[in-house]
Structure 1
Amino acid sequence: MTAAPTTSSALRIRKAAVLGAGVMGAQIAAHLTNAGVETVLFDLPAKEGPKSGIALKAIENLKKLSPAPLADKNLAAAIIPANYDEHLDHLKDVDLVIEAIAERMDWKLDLYKKIAPHVSATAVLASNTSGLSINGLAEALPEEMRHRFTGVHFFNPPRYMHLVEVIPTRLTDAAVVEGLEAFLTTTVGKGVVIAKDTPNFIGNRIGV
């Protein structure tokens, strides 16, 4: 008799999406790409020019930043630029979604509602918030997604700062936390601290 698949089986992370092409989101996308993970970088549709212009500009800018977020400038071409109007279908085959937009609870909640119908039934959704309540953010998700949601806080610059905080909610499946920790340590090369959902978590509270 074959055992039922567990949530952790979903954490073979081959493809990721980063929501938000600001400085932090773009650099997280760069570092996932450094680690060999196929990565889609989303932002709002541009008002002029190509609709994915904001993500395209952010990817181009990665080549100019110092210290370099990319292990090789040519890796910029591997990051897939996307926008929320045209490319939400990319989310259906993504294993990990990292939200890295501005620290506004209302904006994050609106975005979660927009993407929820498109995210696969096994994908892990994580917020890179540095201080908003992870449990509060989880409440905006459909009930069936809440056990797959967690905080994942990279420090700036993501390629060079060794520590990443993982902040589970009350409902986060233990297998999700374990699988994400294994991915971040083994594939991405980070040191992981499991933090409680308190204001500013560990790093920003003690000044790591």
Structure 2
Amino acid sequence: MIDPSNISLSNFVATWHGPATRDPDPAPPSTEWLPQALHEWHYLASQRNSPLTFTTSMISPQEIRAGVDGKATFMVDATADWSWSFDIHNPDAVYEAERHEAWALNPEQLAQFLVHNATREAIYAAPARLSAYFLPDRALAEVLEPLEEVAFGRWNWPAPGYRIFMADDMLVEIVHTRGGSAWDIEVATLKTETLSRLRTIPDADWRTPGA
């Protein structure tokens, strides 16, 4: 297992999104109350012309507000059905909630949560991707052979059971299919040639997302 605390957010973003392309936006004085981990994420995002998120949206630091319950929403999913917040009295604590539901404590603290989300989102920004549905256990084992699972906390979004595996130039996200007899899988890599190994795996019906 890879310990998420050993993953540097800045190094990860540089690896999967490339080096900074512009000067960072200065943090307005009105945002000084925000947690340092959130400042770092927006600092890194402001250095790049391309987005760092695709299935979630980070709320602009100037627009983050604390509610009467002490929760400050900093991220929503693409449909705004799910939201994530931190507690102003304990800024390391992350809470999640589906629309019209009460806040529930996420198992990850804020810094790790942001690394987790950056890792998920990098899959959708990678230059080379493959996906497959109803992948049998044997084929999955071949896909994952050179990778190591990241010990991220379990999320309820987009659904329970998602897991992430990593190698130097490859990310894989898996989840059991409905019914649990096989796997749905997303593969992302920095090198197109890395995918050639996967295409030779029997019983893997690969698709190219967006093709």
TM bucket normalised to smaller: under 0.3
Structure having the larger proportion of residues in helix:
1
TM-score between the two structures when normalised by the length of structure 2? 0.27
Instruction: Tell which structure's C-alpha radius of gyration is larger.
Output: 2
TM-score between the two structures when normalised by the length of structure 1? 0.27
Structure having the larger proportion of residues in strand:
2
